[in-house]
Amino acid sequence: MAQSPPPFARFEWMIAWRYLRASRADGGVSVMTWISLVGIALAVFALIATLAVRSGFRAEFVDTILGANAHVTYYAVTRLDDAGRPDRLIRDYDTVAARLRAVPGVTRAAPLVKGQVLASGQGRSAGVQVYGMSAEDLAALPRIADPASGTGDLARYGEGVSIGAGVAGMLGLMPGDQIKLISPDGARTPFGTTPRVGVYEVVHVFSAGRYDIDATRIYMPFAEAQSFFNRDGAADEIEIMLDDPEALARVMPGLWQAGPEGIFQTWQDASGAFLRALEVEDNVMFVILSVLVLIAAMNIVSGLIMLVKNKQADIGILRTMGLTEGGVLRVFFLCGASVGVAGTLIGTVTGCLFALYIDPIFALVNGISGGGVWDPSIRGIYFLPAQLKTDDVLTAVGLSLFLSCVVTIFPARRAARMHPVEALRHG
């Protein structure tokens, strides 16, 4: 008794390959094959590119938050002063900061003075926000103190102010120029409060990577900010930095215990709405692009149906020669799955190359269009980021291969169930 060949035997691969490369004159569907392959490749490319940009955008956005802002901010509870006015100043900021700094997971707790002022220079004016902190605390902010993105001398911070690149651009200032700051909350006199005016040297210009930060923020020495904003002996808040900003659940109980009389706001609280909106948008984009992959995979069905119709006589001959229904099913399954695998491979390679070389590609597109493709004032960051993750690539590849194989089963099963006599009659 002859032994039946194993599934996916060599001759089944040979028949499938013969059908795939056959020209239309020979009853093949090479044009449909190419259309299906290109469709799968483009869909996988779009999915991988979108997932990479999505991951890169979120990583860049979070990195700019964590690199230029507090991971957790401590505020005093509002109380009434002797004149009956609400007061949220932290008088014992050194003591509170020392307690918060002792919590495991906290790397820094720095008192901070904040205020809104009008800045002017070179005949231009702009509303900015002043952050008063010590030179040591400012040097601990990686996005602000990074020498690669800043100009000037941060070591001279005690002699002047550090301004954002956006502020410098709006006011036409460079390191060494003078900037005038006008605060409405100035000196208190018997006739009321008069505006306070201060002129400072710009000793450093930073770029935090976020347009809204660079265009509105100025750093001033802590003691000078206390005097300028009438915060003598007090701070507005305490900026807390963690060794792992994502581990808020582990650190927050210790912070609540160290500062029970205050209020805490985490970086996730401050930017949570945007991050949640970004996550919803990511999920919607993934669903839409998954549908595109499915549509591209449906082209394989069209091609296989045409192939089965053109190869009815061949199917009848193969069946009369002893090829089983399973053998016919595997032959046509290999035809469709091979197109899906080849398209997925091409799409994966091009998608990964796009993510890896997105900077020169974006520069080329920006140059061809004449510039202005990416407006940082709208998008917040200065460039289109991309971060290629193994999980994203595997997700795209797995989805494409799964859909390609699933849609192939139906036309292949139709070919397998074709009766040999009917196949020969209609072939």
Give pLDDT tens digits for 242-289: 998 888 889 999 999 988 888 999 988 887 777 788 788 888 888 888
Domain for residue 26, yes or no? yes
What would the mean pLDDT of 363-382 be, rounded to a whole number? 68
Clarify whether residues 40 and 122 are in a common domain.
no
Choose the final residue of a domain: 260, 290, 310. Answer: 260
Clarify whether residues 85 and 212 are in a common domain.
yes
Residue 236's pLDDT band, with cuts at 50, 70 and 90, is very high
10-19, 178-187, 354-363: segment of lowest average pLDDT: 10-19
What domain range is 134 assigned to? 78-260
Q: Single out the residue of 35, 39, 13, 10 nearest to residue 24, CA to CA.
A: 35
Question: For residue 160, is pLDDT > 80?
Answer: yes
Domain for residue 91, yes or no? yes
Clarify whether residues 105 and 49 are in a common domain.
no
Clarify whether residues 303 and 252 are in a common domain.
no
Domain for residue 44, yes or no? yes
3-state secondary structure labels for all residues of the chain: CCCCCCCCCHHHHHHHHHHHCCCHHHCCCHHHHHHHHHHHHHHHHHHHHHHHHHHHHHHHHHHHHHHHCCCEEEEECCEECCCCCEECCECCHHHHHHHHHCCCCEEEEEEEEEEEEEEEECCEEEEEEEEECCHHHHHCCHHHHCCCCCEECHHHHHHCEEEEHHHHHHHCCCCCCEEEEEEEEEEEECCEEEEEEEEEEEEEEECCCEHHHHCCEEEECHHHHHHHCCCCCCECEEEEEECCCCCHHHHHHHHHHHCCCEEEEEHHHHHHHHHHHHHHHHHHHHHHHHHHHHHHHHHHHHHHHHHHHHCHHHHHHHHHCCCCHHHHHHHHHHHHHHHHHHHHHHHHHHHHHHHHCHHHHHHHHHHHCCCCCCCHHHHCECCCCCCCCHHHHHHHHHHHHHHHHHHHHHHHHHHHCCCHHHHHHHC
Clarify whether residues 279 and 173 are in a common domain.
no
Clarify whether residues 40 and 160 are in a common domain.
no
Tokens (6 digits) for 389: 């993750």
Clarify whether residues 90 and 136 are in a common domain.
yes
- The bridge status of strand 106-121 relative to strand 124-132 is antiparallel
| 292-331: pLDDT as tens digits | 888 888 877 777 776 666 666 666 666 666 666 666 777 7
Choose the final residue of a domain: 202, 227, 260. Answer: 260
What would the mean pLDDT of 17-35 be, rounded to a whole number? 63
The predicted pLDDT at position 100 comes to 93
Question: For residue 170, is pLDDT > 50?
Answer: yes
Distance CA 114, CA 132 (A): 6
Clarify whether residues 150 and 179 are in a common domain.
yes
What would the mean pLDDT of 184-201 be, rounded to a whole number? 75
What would the mean pLDDT of 29-33 be, rounded to a whole number? 67
Mean pLDDT of the chain: 81
Question: For residue 111, is pLDDT > 90?
Answer: yes
Number of structural domains in the chain: 2
Tokens (6 digits) for 366: 């920006």
Distance CA 97, CA 238 (A): 7
Domain for residue 48, yes or no? yes
Domain for residue 3, yes or no? no
The predicted pLDDT at position 200 comes to 93
Domain for residue 185, yes or no? yes
Domain for residue 402, yes or no? yes
Clarify whether residues 206 and 322 are in a common domain.
no
Clarify whether residues 253 and 105 are in a common domain.
yes
Domain for residue 4, yes or no? no
Clarify whether residues 237 and 282 are in a common domain.
no
Higher pLDDT, 11 or 61: 61
Clarify whether residues 110 and 256 are in a common domain.
yes
Query: Could you identify the residue written with the tokens 């690199």?
Result: 67
